[in-house]
């Protein structure tokens, strides 16, 4: 019996020793696996220390760079000592976000309003043509109008395609196709802008005396120009709507031309911040002009019968003059419009064809 107890004691001792060995091996393996992780803990603690240290040299350096602190550069020219101009990111976000998005919505809203108006009313139809013609636009005026109008349409297409190309044209044409189009649109836009500016300046100067605001222009706006029903409000050679378009071209068109000048001649008396401002002014003013021109194109074509005839032939029907420009019509028929550079008494109605 004593011998059996000795054997049991020996087996118990061997078991404890085996368990101790297993535990020792497992602890060794766990330690071997855990030791490499201490490196990551050390790096994380160091990074946390750097992040919390306001005097970190690297953080201070890049903060200074983004704030535009001047440095040294061997390159000559404007802003060559500025490594990063922080305003560029702000400009990109405003141009590609606010300007592009709100400009697109404004243009679509104008098209939608005109489409709804035309569907509901069919546009203005002249009630009765008299057959007698009233001279309205001399040949030089018509040439200036069409010269400037054609150039504006080309500039609008090329300019807006560059503004919205990334969102609209790349999905349709692909990156290579859009790049090929941009290589054409950009130089066409730049060169034709000079010719458009000349036409715009001549048109503004030549037609200014027609577009001086008058007291009766307010009544024209209150009555919606007569397009919403009712009688046509008083209007001279240019009605209040045409005057609004004229002064839009003076103000927004002027801003468009001046800002475009700085874009055509980079760094001409301005730094990158000035170029970025010019780019945003150019985009906004161009969109404003485009929205008004879309309305003008509609009202001058299918939106108002008889208007296009004047700019095509120089003459409008007598009924059109009475309805849309009654004060001007009264002047030229009463003989009081002698100082008016255009306009004349109605021509005789054409003879009816013999049966």
CA distance 68 to 342: 58
More confidently predicted of 110 and 15: 110
3 state DSSP class of 336: coil
CA distance 153 to 65: 43
Query: What are φ and ψ of residue 136, in 5° steps?
Result: -130, -45
* Domain spans of the chain, in order of start: 2-66, 87-334
Give the DSSP H or E segment for 46. helix 37-52
CATH superfamily of 87-334: Transmembrane di-heme cytochromes, Chain C (1.20.950.20)
Residue 260 near residue 193 (C-beta atoms within 8 A): yes
How do residues 6-30 score in pLDDT, each as one tens digit? 555 555 556 566 666 656 656 665 5
More confidently predicted of 195 and 55: 195
CA torsion 64-70-74-76 (nearest 10°) is 140
The interaxial angle of helices 170-207 and 240-264, nearest 10 deg, is: 120
Q: What count of residues does the chain have?
A: 355
Q: What tokens were used for 298?
A: 């509609």
Mean pLDDT of the 330-353 span: 54
CA distance 249 to 240: 14
pLDDT greater than 60 at residue 346: no
Count of Cβ atoms closer than 10 Å to residue 344 Cβ: 14
CA distance 130 to 319: 6
Supply the pLDDT for residue 24: 66
Give the DSSP H or E segment for 47. helix 37-52
Count of Cβ atoms closer than 10 Å to residue 253 Cβ: 25
- Give, as one character, the DSSP assignment of residue 305: T
Q: Which residues contact 250 (CB under 8 A, 6 or more apart)?
A: 204
How do residues 258-297 score in pLDDT, each as one tens digit? 999 999 887 677 777 888 899 999 999 999 999 999 999 9
Give the DSSP H or E segment for 316. strand 315-317
Ordered DSSP codes for 93-113: HIIIIIIHHHHHHHHHHHHHH
Handedness of CA 111, 113, 117, 120 (dihedral sign): positive
CA distance 273 to 281: 12
More confidently predicted of 188 and 335: 188
Q: What tokens were used for 44?
A: 């994380």
How do residues 157-197 score in pLDDT, each as one tens digit? 999 998 888 888 888 889 999 899 999 999 999 999 999 99
- Give, as one character, the DSSP assignment of residue 131: S
Residue 276 near residue 305 (C-beta atoms within 8 A): no
Residue 182 near residue 162 (C-beta atoms within 8 A): yes
Chain-centroid distance of CA 79 in Å reads 28
Ordered DSSP codes for 214-230: -TTHHHHHHTGGGTTSS
CA distance 148 to 205: 14
- Beta bridge partners, 296, equal none
How do residues 299-324 score in pLDDT, each as one tens digit? 999 999 999 999 999 999 999 999 89
pLDDT greater than 60 at residue 339: no
């Amino acid at each position: 019996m004593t011998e059996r107890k000795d054997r049991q004691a020996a087996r118990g001792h061997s078991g404890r020793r085996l368990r101790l060995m297993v535990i020792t091996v497992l602890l060794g393996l766990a330690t071997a696996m855990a030791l490499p992780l201490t490196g990551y803990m050390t790096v994380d603690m160091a990074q946390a220390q750097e992040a919390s240290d306001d005097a970190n040299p690297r953080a201070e350096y890049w903060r200074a760079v983004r704030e535009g602190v001047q440095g040294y550069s061997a390159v000559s020219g404007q802003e060559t000592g500025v490594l990063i101009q922080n305003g560029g990111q702000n400009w990109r976000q405003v141009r590609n976000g606010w300007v592009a998005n709100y400009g697109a919505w404004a243009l679509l809203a104008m098209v939608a309003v005109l489409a709804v108006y035309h569907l509901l009313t069919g546009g203005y139809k002249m009630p009765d043509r008299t057959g007698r013609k009233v001279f309205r636009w001399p040949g030089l005026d018509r040439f200036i109008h069409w010269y400037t109008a054609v150039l504006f349409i080309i500039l609008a297409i090329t300019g807006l395609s560059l503004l919205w190309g990334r969102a609209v044209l790349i999905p349709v044409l692909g990156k290579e196709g859009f790049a090929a189009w941009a290589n054409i649109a950009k130089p066409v836009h730049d060169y034709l802008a000079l010719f458009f500016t000349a036409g715009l300046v001549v048109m503004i100067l030549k037609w200014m005396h027609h577009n001086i605001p008058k007291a009766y222009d307010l009544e024209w706006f209150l009555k919606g120009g007569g397009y919403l029903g009712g009688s046509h409000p008083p209007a001279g050679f240019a009605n209040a709507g045409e005057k609004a378009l004229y002064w839009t071209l003076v103000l927004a068109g002027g801003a468009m031309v001046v800002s475009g000048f700085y874009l055509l001649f980079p760094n001409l008396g301005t730094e990158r911040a000035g170029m970025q401002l010019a780019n945003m002014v150019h985009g906004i003013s161009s969109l404003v002009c485009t929205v008004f021109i879309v309305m003008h194109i509609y009202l001058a074509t299918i939106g108002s019968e008889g208007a296009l005839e004047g700019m095509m032939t120089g003459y409008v029907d007598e009924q059109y003059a009475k309805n849309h420009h009654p004060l001007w019509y009264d002047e030229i028929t009463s003989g009081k419009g002698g100082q008016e550079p255009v306009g004349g008494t109605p021509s005789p109605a054409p003879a009816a064809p013999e049966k």
